[in-house]
Amino acid sequence: MVLQYLIIRTQWDNILKFAMPASSLCDAHNNCAEKCFKYIKQDDWVTSGKLGSREAVLVFRTNILNPKTRKTLLETTPEQVKLKNVEATSTQSGVVLEKAMSSAICKTNATIGQAYVSVEKSPNSNDLRNPVKKLHGSFSSCDTSVSSDGDETVQYNEKKPRVQQKNRNAAIVEIEVNLNKESGYNSIPATQFNTGSNTSEEDQEASSEEDKECGINMPAHQLQITYKFIQTETKLLRKIFNVHGLTEVQGESNFNLLWTGVHMKLDTLRNLALYQRVNHFPRSYELTRKDRLYKNIERMQHLRGMKHFDIVPQSFILPLESRDLLFAHNKHRGPWIVKPAASSRGRGIFIVNSPDQIPQDEQVLVSKYIVDPLCIDGHKCDLRVYVLVTSFDPLIIYLYEEGIVRLATVRYDRNADNLWNPCMHLCNYSINKYHSDYIRSSDAQDEDVGHKWTLSALLRHLKLQGCDTHLLMLNIEDLIIKAVLACAQTIISACRMFVPNANNCFELYGFDILIDNTLKPWLLEVNLSPSMGVDSPLDTKVKACLVTDLLTCVGIPAFSPEMRSHYNSKSSQIRSSSCHRQVDTTESGIAIRSTKTKKKTFGLIQLTQEEQRILRSARLQYSRRGGFVRIFPTDDTMQRYGHFLDSANGIPISTPNVQGQTFQTLVTQHNYNQMLHSNLYCLGSRSLKDDNCQENRIRQYERALETDSEIPFLKKQIVEKCEEEGRRLRKQLLKKIGSGSTLTHFQARQTFSLYLESVLRRLTQDPKDSHEKIILKFLNRYGGGVKPPVLFRNTLNVSKARSAMVAKLLGDFLELYKRDTEAYVDSFDHFGMIPTSAYSLFLIHAQESDLEAVLTHHTNVTGIMPFLYNRCGLSVPPTPPIPSGLHGFLRALPAMVSASGFSRDVSKYDGYFKSCDKNLEDVHDISLRSRSTRDFK
């Protein structure tokens, strides 16, 4: 047996030596190369250059999120297959064992796409096509590859029909099942929350620890690539980063990728190293703030002509332009939509029929309401498309092939009586999800079911109805490009001042677009950090593919710690890209030509070093684009948009020229946009002209997004509560509170948060008119970041839309409240306080009545309200008497808040919420009621 084991071990060692080439790490980390990649082939997860080179970047793929694929890779390593078969030697002969091992090897190679192919055939090949297509599927829907020296070989293939895709997935699953049977291992079943099939509730996806275990085998983990989050949704992003081997860091500046949901600090930008990436450009608010976006587009309308930039509805910024708004309203009657200048997720948006219904003491954007929107089965809809900008100078814009179509829950009606109903006029998911009639798709393959569709499903639906979807998508591309051009000048200026290296920044924008019944697209707003939340299988599929394609396209440098320390040193760190460009163009007047030993390529002969770097970077980036479609530059962009760019430096000019001192005189004279377009699309260039033509782009938009494997995602596990245990723990807590123990601020806020969550669930399932009025009154008094719409009035009946609106307001309050609660975490048990462990157990099993009883008793005994106030003071109102009985605490809740102790910018709306009583209707309500019988025009 020992001799047979040694023979088998020797055979395996020979197979490994023959099948696995040596790592191509740079000299700085050659010593650790052999132990880093035992079964994960490094070339499959690194592209654009050999690992260890300056141009090597990481590859991200969605199918590694599938636990079946992950399990196959983890459990079919040579060592594990070897040990499994060695155990079987006690019952099998050596010949049978050798056959089983050979079969396992063949199955493994078939499953992972010939990853251990003979080195003699292509010893130095770094081409990604075969490993990517067979092992991990394509980058997305496009067949792209790039060699290590940067030469492109791009081939455009249409997506296969859905039936063929399902058959291919079934074949992959069959291979995995056969492999697991022969190797003695069973793959982890997919979670219930997946995109392809329904599984039992017991089937759970791998935990975060298993994700990190998978990431250990990735090059990113061996290279110690790190990421950092700042105020952003992390559920999907953290999972993708962990399975690809990235490590999260806290409170450190030495990160490789910084993903933030807010604008960047200038000090952080100034100190970025060459290998670091951040997901925002400086001064992106010029594009993402509603007021700044409209003003920038309005300037272009005056400067370049209204016919070229008629992409947004007529808008006014109040209170500065109140007189202009009144003049426009008198000229063209109709409803107006009011939006806070810097809000998101539909917060604070309402519709009025007359400007005199708009408060004049806060800054808002008032836009003409589009009364004839495109409707699907009678429901209003809008689009969320994802736009990636990797550079502003030169301008490089990508549009993701798939987007989200959001439908309103209530059928659209032009009658002015329904102006208050946000579930009819607003398509935001954050609003409509609280409506009891909202339908979620349970299968990612059903892209036209429920109130959330995909962009490709909408285009196919419109095409069947005879609509010109080709022209529609070209108009959407035109709208995106013109919106970016209108805001680019300020962002370019900020990048030159604050961004050290040209590739440090990238940005994913969420464009919200409304289509009217003539198929004309209108830009509603641009989101700084589009939501990465995954509440349905359709969300999971689209956003997971979006994020992985984004990270691969942008390119996270695969630098070793030694290389990073080299670039971090002051002596070798590369400084501002604008400084380099100035040196190249001012100190080197003679163009740098290719040496005689190198092959002369058209377009590179008369280019400076900086221009060569830009061109090479653009080509490599395009080869990694995955599902992103480059809409600028294309073969006709200079013809269509060249007159919007300055002829000397190629920068979009959105301000009129001032004699003596203009923007373009303050920067180096160059035209990278013209240079890039000439070398990519002019006659004789290396790129294929037809690869990015209009027909191919439109075809890519209309086809369904494919995934080579299921993309499961872990749902939040709901712990079953025991009512008896909750009552028992409640009695103990009430006894301790009566004997002098008190809740900490964190415990009190936790309890209050869970209590409001219970109320929120009840509002969406069993609405009660009295409870909705109580919540509205409480939110109105509390103020803060949650502002109920001005014209949201209580109707005579309890409608589902009204209940959804109250639930939306309460949900917004809870979001802010939970964020503030994080500052009150108890690190230890305080003297005289209830122990943390015992109280945490109570919160697990507590029902709404238990939480209400504890809050009521604690408030009555202590006379304080730590769930609302940090400390006692003059602004804290006295504790009100809490009525006995069910929901007594809820009825007393508004009295716990003193309107005088909070910001007055919300208390001025109190009259609107008292309008439920007929005797308190004011003049504005009378004027609105007089117009309610007329339809808008």
- CATH code of 389's domain: 3.30.470.20
pLDDT of residue 703: 92
Same domain, residue pair 845 and 728:
yes
Is residue 437 pLDDT above 60, yes or no? yes
- Beta 364-368 vs 315-318: how paired, if at all? antiparallel
Confidence of residue 19 (pLDDT cuts 50, 70, 90): very low
The set of residues, in sequence order, having a beta carbon less than 8 Å from that of 79 and lying 6+ positions away, is 12, 38
Confidence of residue 6 (pLDDT cuts 50, 70, 90): very low
Q: Which of 909, 755, 922 is nearest to 846 (CA)?
A: 755
pLDDT of residue 17: 39
**Residue 705 covered by a domain:** yes
- Beta 395-400 vs 521-527: how paired, if at all? unpaired
**Residue 831 covered by a domain:** yes
**Residue 43 covered by a domain:** no
Confidence of residue 907 (pLDDT cuts 50, 70, 90): very low
pLDDT of residue 75: 58
Same domain, residue pair 499 and 364:
no
List pLDDT tens digits, range 586-597.
333 434 334 433
Name the least confident of 113-122, 290-299, 358-367, 521-530: 113-122
pLDDT of residue 690: 55
What per-residue string of b and e applies to 535-561 under the rule 16 or more CB within 10 Å gives b? ebbbbbbbbbbbbbbbbbbbbbbbbbe
Confidence of residue 606 (pLDDT cuts 50, 70, 90): confident
Name the least confident of 333-337, 671-675, 679-683: 679-683
Same domain, residue pair 286 and 342:
no
What residues are paired with 405 via a beta bridge? Answer: 383, 453
Mean pLDDT in residue range 929-937? 41
Is residue 359 pLDDT above 70, yes or no? yes
Same domain, residue pair 464 and 384:
yes
Alpha helices in 377-468 (DSSP H): 422-425, 429-432, 455-464
Greater confidence (713 vs 501) lies with 501
Same domain, residue pair 343 and 378:
no
**Residue 488 covered by a domain:** yes
pLDDT of residue 373: 96
pLDDT of residue 126: 34
Same domain, residue pair 510 and 643:
yes
Greater confidence (645 vs 184) lies with 645
Find where tokens 């069910």 sit: 886
pLDDT of residue 135: 31
Cα–Cα distance for residue pair 822/806, rounded to 1 Å: 25
Same domain, residue pair 624 and 764:
no
Same domain, residue pair 341 and 354:
yes
pLDDT of residue 149: 36
Is residue 545 pLDDT above 70, yes or no? yes
Cα–Cα distance for residue pair 202/19, rounded to 1 Å: 39
* Maximum Cα–Cα distance across the chain: 99
Find where tokens 């599902």 sit: 627
Cα–Cα distance for residue pair 379/468, rounded to 1 Å: 21
List pLDDT tens digits, range 910-922.
333 333 333 333 4
Domain that holds residue 363: 314-369
Quote the mean pLDDT of the chain.
74
Confidence of residue 118 (pLDDT cuts 50, 70, 90): very low
**432 neighbors 411 (Cβ within 8 angstroms):** no
What per-residue string of b and e applies to 447-482 under the rule 16 or more CB within 10 Å gives b? beeebbbbbbbbbbbbeeeeeebbebbebbbbbbbb
**Residue 380 covered by a domain:** yes
Same domain, residue pair 848 and 764:
yes
**Residue 787 covered by a domain:** yes
**79 neighbors 723 (Cβ within 8 angstroms):** no
List pLDDT tens digits, range 484-496.
999 999 999 999 9
Same domain, residue pair 379 and 498:
yes
Q: How many domains does the chain have?
A: 3
For residue 530, cis peptide bond before it (omega within 30 degrees of 0): no
Name the least confident of 155-169, 339-353, 724-738, 778-792: 155-169
Q: Which of 78, 124, 71 is nearest to 102 (CA)?
A: 78
**Residue 737 covered by a domain:** yes
Sheet containing strand 247-248, strands side by side? 247-248, 226-230, 257-260, 277-278
Cα–Cα distance for residue pair 691/594, rounded to 1 Å: 28
Share of the chain above pLDDT 90, in %: 40
CA dihedral 469, 475, 476, 482 (to 10 degrees): 170
Cα–Cα distance for residue pair 862/895, rounded to 1 Å: 17
Same domain, residue pair 333 and 431:
no
Name the least confident of 544-548, 711-715, 763-767: 711-715
**Residue 786 covered by a domain:** yes
Same domain, residue pair 405 and 380:
yes
Degrees to nearest 5, angle at CA 549 with 544 and 551: 100
pLDDT of residue 792: 55
Is residue 250 pLDDT above 70, yes or no? yes
pLDDT of residue 800: 81
pLDDT of residue 360: 79
Mean pLDDT in residue range 617-643? 94
Is residue 404 pLDDT above 80, yes or no? yes
Q: Which of 913, 914, 899 is nearest to 783 (CA)?
A: 899
pLDDT of residue 722: 87
Helical (H) or strand (E) element with 728 = helix 723-738
Greater confidence (874 vs 295) lies with 295
Is residue 3 pLDDT above 70, yes or no? no
Helical (H) or strand (E) element with 339 = strand 336-340
SS3 content of the chain, % helix, strand, coil (to 5): 45, 10, 45
CATH number, position 362: 3.30.1490
List pLDDT tens digits, range 76-92.
444 443 444 444 444 34
Q: At what angle do helices 94-111 and 2-19 cross, to 10 degrees?
A: 20
Greater confidence (370 vs 207) lies with 370
Cα–Cα distance for residue pair 838/834, rounded to 1 Å: 8
Is residue 110 pLDDT above 50, yes or no? no
Is residue 443 pLDDT above 90, yes or no? no
The CA distances from residue 236 to 159, 217, 226, 428, in Å, are 26, 20, 16, 20
pLDDT of residue 386: 98
Cα–Cα distance for residue pair 269/498, rounded to 1 Å: 6
Is residue 721 pLDDT above 70, yes or no? yes
Mean pLDDT in residue range 451-468? 96
Is residue 689 pLDDT above 90, yes or no? no
Mean pLDDT in residue range 135-154? 35
Which pTM value belongs to this model? 0.77
Is residue 466 pLDDT above 70, yes or no? yes
Q: Which of 153-157, 260-264, 462-466, 827-831 has the highest mean pLDDT?
A: 462-466
List pLDDT tens digits, range 759-809.
998 888 776 667 888 988 898 888 765 665 555 544 445 578 888 888 888
Mean pLDDT in residue range 152-170? 36
